[in-house]
Structure 1
Amino acid sequence: MAKKFLARFSIQKDKAKHAPSLLGIRQGERKTLRNYMERFNKTCMNIQNLPTEAAIMGLINGLREGPFSQSISKKYPTSLNEVQQRAEKYINMEENSRLGETSKAGFTPRDKDKESRKKED
């Protein structure tokens, strides 16, 4: 009975993760850089003795084409801390541009009428 129990539940045990598992993490077409970095960092935390170079290569490999991936390809990072700092700049830019789009989208025709009245006054 003990063998059956162990056989049944040992299959469900989390398998150890290794550096090649980072290659499966990709930034989706509609996913934010913040979302991608969070998923990537979470996976990195589950890999013991992860070489810095492997982590950086995995991160770059999973990035979709965009400003951050172009920046990384121009000046290759030497540490994960550098990657995180550079990513934070692009995350902020991405979020600021999204806020700008939201405020423009919230501009209703009624607001346009108010603007034209102000100009006339």
Structure 2
Amino acid sequence: MPNSISTFKDLSAQFTSHFIGGHRYKKSTTCLMNIKQQEDETLRSYITRFNKEALSIDEVDDKILVAAFINELRKGKFLFSLYKDDPKTMSDVLYRATKYMNAEDALLAREEKPKKRETQEDIR
């Protein structure tokens, strides 16, 4: 019969090839060393890319995550703050990054408000 399995050996071979062929292998931690924050890339975007890659690695050590993240982070105030007060865990890095991004957003919003007022006054 076409498309049928006649022996247990055939069934075992089909089963094995189906599940092994579809198995996704986890990446090694060295992949993290290739994730570098680009010159024009925001901290949010870098964190998103880094976390996506970190999730594809099996049993990664927290210290390796922190070291890889900091190593490829663009120079600036946030990197300086991490060097100044060394984070122990990736959760600590992400918490501090969130606080830093929120502060940046608040400062940007504050800078944009006077520009809008000036524009409205110019119209009058």
TM-score, normalising length: structure 1 = 0.72
Aligned AA (2:69):
L
1:50 aligns with: 60
Root-mean-square deviation (CA), in Å? Answer: 2.5
Distance 1:17 1:108, change over 3 A: same
Q: Is residue 86 of structure 1 aligned with residue 96 of structure 2?
A: yes
Mind listing any 5+ residue stretches in structure 2 that lack a counterpart? 1-16
Alignment partners' CA distance in 2, 1:106 and 1:15: 52
Which of these two proteins has the greater Rg computed from alpha carbons?
2
Please tell me the residue identity of whatever aligns with 1:85: Y
1:1-121 alignment runs, 5 A limit: 16-104=26-114, 106=116, 109=119, 111-112=121-122, 114=124
The number of residue pairs the alignment matches comes to 106
Instruction: Please give the TM-score of this superposition, normalised by the length of structure 2.
Output: 0.70
1:27-62, CA deviations, whole angstroms, 9 ceiling, x for partnerless residues? 111211111111111111111110111100000011
Q: Percent sequence identity over matched residues? A: 30
* Residue segments in structure 1 that go unaligned for 5+ positions in a row: 1-5, 115-121
